[in-house]
Chains A and B, each alone.
Chain A
């Protein structure tokens, strides 16, 4: 009896889950349809063959390889640099317990909540003055700083609970603050640092407003910006749109499959700290 009552709940949940992933499935199906097939049978039919010209055409038209390279370069640099900056800040706050650390931490939390709209015009203007406008470096610098606000916040509380005895012991053996950081604190906190790397990478990959403003030339654009701008212009036919969607979805799904555990665990850790 109870088992009978359970199945409707399970079925409802499975249907809801299906609804969440159906958009992905129809994108895949329609990305491999020829335009003729699409106009004849519409979006719901199954493809008769594997039509890849839409994908290759789109790839060449937007120079997608270059966009992927830009995204990887920018996101990778931000992930690395923002993690380093977070570690330095959190070391001073969590382990060094510098004076006024509560205020410093509050500052980082607020900086993390600041809407990018309140920074975007001055950043645009200043980067022009500094000759950094429309360079990948400008975006790397900005997101390194913005994301390290979250990293500092998360890592400070993790390092605040770092076993003091280990640090005291190392100090007695004559290690300086720098050595304690690189030889002890960083290796021990490697799991949290991994979470931060993954998060910073994906966040930067998905960022839209600032890269849209900062990266105007085609050669510097990220995947997100290039696809968003194309969509805004509405110049694409259905097959091309699906090719764009599929090529945009694929990297995200790959990250997701590779880092699923890190992502879900990291979100929870980040939220409750």
Chain B
């Protein structure tokens, strides 16, 4: 006695209706609004591609996307690279020679910033990085490097790099945990055999570790790149896009366009561009991942 397939379709009904109301309709509305000139009151005027033409010449918009590339470095490239080395070192060195307990304690230290609300991370760091009595400047002075003191978040030439540094701190734990879990899948005998054959740490890393967790590397890179393009809270709390737009990113730019400048049509166009880029990257990432898993 088998249940007819259709009887299961009913279970999708609540989810489908909820998605229609919360995701599909708002998403279509937003896409549509991108083609209008609307201040949020009255009825929207159709303006065709005017917003997109304006975007093409908007230096603020291009700057925000350029900053996104820096965010990708800070949230995807650096954490993935560091995460790989740390995961390999914790598993292969610390776990093997000093016990898995120590390895998991160290892993916990690296992971801790990940569970923090980004608003709280922002409070902690903007205080540490404060220009006058900030901890970092006080520390530099205490060790005799007083000339290195900076207005870390207030200097337009420096602020973007400072925000990047904070984001590396926030993000590092995620790749580390995923990679360590992936390494757990690799047969330890492979390492032992390689060691007996005289392979050094670097060769074991390049020939066993990296190929072994290739699917994880693609997943982490995809997820972190998408997260980097969406970054909002950290910018809001640390710099509000400043000084002088030096740390503005697309999501913050669309937020201010929506709610401070109340140019809803223009904000919708910005977020539509952002969505297209993210979905394209997501598709590439998923494709690479499925290829890596087949290989």
Chain A residues within CB distance 8 Å of chain B: 3, 6, 9-10, 13-14, 16-18, 20-21, 23-24, 26-27, 38-39, 42-44, 85, 88-89, 91-93, 95-99, 104, 107, 109-111, 113-126, 141-142, 144-146, 148-149, 152, 171-172, 176-177, 181, 202, 205-206, 208-209, 212-213, 223-225, 227-228, 231-232, 238, 241-242, 244-245, 248-249, 252-253, 255-256, 260, 263-265, 267-268, 271-272
Contact = CB atoms under 8 A, between A and B. Distances in A.
Interface in B205-232: 215-216, 219-220, 223, 226, 229-230, 232
Contact of B178 (A232, A241, A267): A267
A37 B77 CA distance: 42
Contact of A248 (B112, B117, B139, B216): B117
A113 B242 CA distance: 27
A212 B117 CA distance: 13
B190 interface: no
Interface string B129-144: 0000111001100100
Contact of B109 (A17, A42, A91, A126): A17
Contact of A92 (B9, B139, B181, B215): B9
B122 interface: yes
B12 A231 contact: no
Contact of A14 (B31, B106, B128, B219): B106
A201 to B, nearest CB: 11
Interface string B56-74: 0000000000000000000
Interface string B236-265: 110010000000001100110011000010
A249 B281 CA distance: 33
Given A97-B5, A264-B177, A122 B25 contact: yes
A171 B270 CA distance: 52
Contacts of A148: 15, 18
Of A14, A17, A125, most B-chain CB atoms within 10 Å: A17
A10 B216 CA distance: 25
B139 A144 contact: no
A118 to B, nearest CB: 4
Contacts of A18: 109
A244 B123 contact: yes
Contacts of B229: 115
Contacts of B15: 85, 88-89, 148, 152
B98 A20 contact: no
Interface residues of B, number: 98
A200 to B, nearest CB: 14
Contacts of A98: 5, 8-9, 12
Contact of B233 (A209, A245, A253): A209
Interface in B144-190: 169, 172, 174, 177-178, 180-182
Instruction: Tell me what chain B mostly uses at the interface: helix, strand, loop, or mixed.
Output: helix
Contacts of B240: 232
Contacts, number: 281
Interface in B13-27: 14-15, 18-19, 21-23, 25-27
B192 to A, nearest CB: 15
Contacts of A225: 119
B108 A121 contact: no
B181 A264 contact: yes
A20 B3 CA distance: 54
A75 to B, nearest CB: 11
Contacts of B267: 121
A254 to B, nearest CB: 10
Contacts of B193: none
Nearest to B181: A268
Interface in B71-111: 86, 89-90, 93-94, 97-98, 106-111
A161 to B, nearest CB: 15
A209 B69 CA distance: 21
Nearest to A248: B120
Given A238-B127, A272-B219, A145 B22 contact: yes
B288 interface: no
B117 A16 contact: no
Contacts of B106: 13-14, 17
B134 A20 contact: no
Contact of A113 (B21, B169, B268, B282): B282
Interface in B250-295: 250-251, 254-255, 258-259, 264, 267-268, 270-272, 274-275, 278-279, 282, 286
